[in-house]
């Protein structure tokens, strides 16, 4: 954070403006940004909230002209970070560029902030690039947070929130509800009792009736083999830093490529 600190942002803006294709240079720039700030808020906040929000959240002006340019810049740097296999370590945790916590948002990951915002457009971008929705250290399940918000609308569901739910369901094998088994202790249930099924029916019965969650994604029926295959293929591509563009290299029909890339379900 010395006197040359702002030169990093000038370099960041120039790299985007000139569509710099030198992956090594852009990767080195991202590494320097992280070493300096331990976050990539300058790239993510404008795309998530728009150009005016960063001033109120973090006290700085967006480096890009409008929200559309912010989104294009986000995709530009996501592409370079993926091609360079960038990872960043904080304590005992290692993050990909796309999952580095946002300091001004309670150290939540970008995808969690986007889910909370209900922004389907940005969520689609992050999920295609392999953003990790679930985290073992997270206090809340982001899928349950969407479902709890949907319950508040008394079955008149907002389009953006429903779209976010459907996108998340494409990216995960199934919904794992947070179950407090102590609540059911007095019922003396068998060891193999399906708590997920009971919780889904009791807590989100109306949402299930309205077919917002397929019965195969919440423990009521077995998950479709096609969907499980999609999740496994995407996981392998993610491990090899090949999401999303590695999908186009697979010897499968275009319709299956769209399915793997989360455009279809």
Asked if residues 62 and 70 have their Cβ atoms less than 8 Å apart, the reply is yes
| Tokens representing residue 188 in the block | 């003396």
pLDDT on residue 186: 56
pLDDT on residue 75: 97
Q: Tally the C-alpha atoms within 13 A of residue 23's C-alpha that lie toward its C-beta.
A: 9
Burial per residue of 97-122, b for 16 or more beta-carbon CB atoms within 10 angstroms, e otherwise: bbbbbbebbeebbbbbbbbbbbbbeb
pLDDT on residue 61: 77
Q: Is 88 helix (H, G, I), strand (E, B) or coil?
A: strand
pLDDT on residue 177: 79
pLDDT on residue 139: 52
Look at the alpha carbons of 248, 250, 255, 256 in this order and tell me if their dihedral is positive or negative: negative
pLDDT on residue 87: 97
Which stretches of the chain score pLDDT less than 70?
A: 1-3, 53-60, 135-140, 179-196
pLDDT on residue 194: 62
In sequence order, which residues have a C-beta less than 8 Å from that of residue 151 and are 6 or more positions away? 204, 206, 207
Q: Is 81 helix (H, G, I), strand (E, B) or coil?
A: helix
In angstroms, the CA 199 to CA 164 distance is 21
């Amino acid at each position: 954070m010395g006197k040359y600190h702002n030169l990093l942002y000038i370099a960041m803006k120039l790299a985007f403006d000139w569509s710099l294709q030198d992956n090594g240079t852009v990767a080195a720039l991202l590494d320097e940004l992280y070493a300096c700030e331990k976050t990539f808020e300058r790239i993510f906040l404008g795309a998530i909230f728009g150009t005016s929000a960063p001033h109120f959240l973090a006290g700085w002006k967006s480096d890009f002209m409008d929200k559309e340019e912010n989104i294009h810049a986000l995709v530009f740097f996501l592409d370079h970070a993926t091609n360079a296999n960038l990872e960043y370590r904080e304590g005992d945790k290692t993050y990909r560029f796309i999952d580095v916590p946002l300091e001004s948002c309670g150290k939540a990951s970008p995808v969690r902030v986007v889910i909370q915002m209900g922004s389907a457009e940005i969520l689609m971008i992050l999920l295609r690039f392999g953003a990790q929705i679930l985290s073992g250290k997270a206090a809340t399940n982001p899928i349950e947070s969407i479902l709890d918000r949907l319950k508040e609308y008394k079955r008149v569901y907002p389009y953006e929130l429903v779209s976010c739910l459907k996108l998340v369901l494409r990216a995960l094998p199934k919904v794992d509800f947070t179950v407090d088994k102590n609540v059911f202790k007095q019922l003396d249930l068998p060891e193999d009792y399906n708590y997920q099924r009971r919780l889904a029916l009791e807590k989100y019965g109306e949402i299930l009736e309205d077919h917002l969650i397929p019965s195969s994604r919440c423990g009521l029926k077995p998950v479709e083999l096609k969907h499980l295959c999609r999740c496994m293929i995407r996981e392998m591509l993610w491990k090899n830093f090949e999401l999303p563009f590695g999908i186009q290299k697979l010897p499968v029909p275009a319709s299956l490529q769209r399915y793997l890339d989360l455009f279809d379900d």
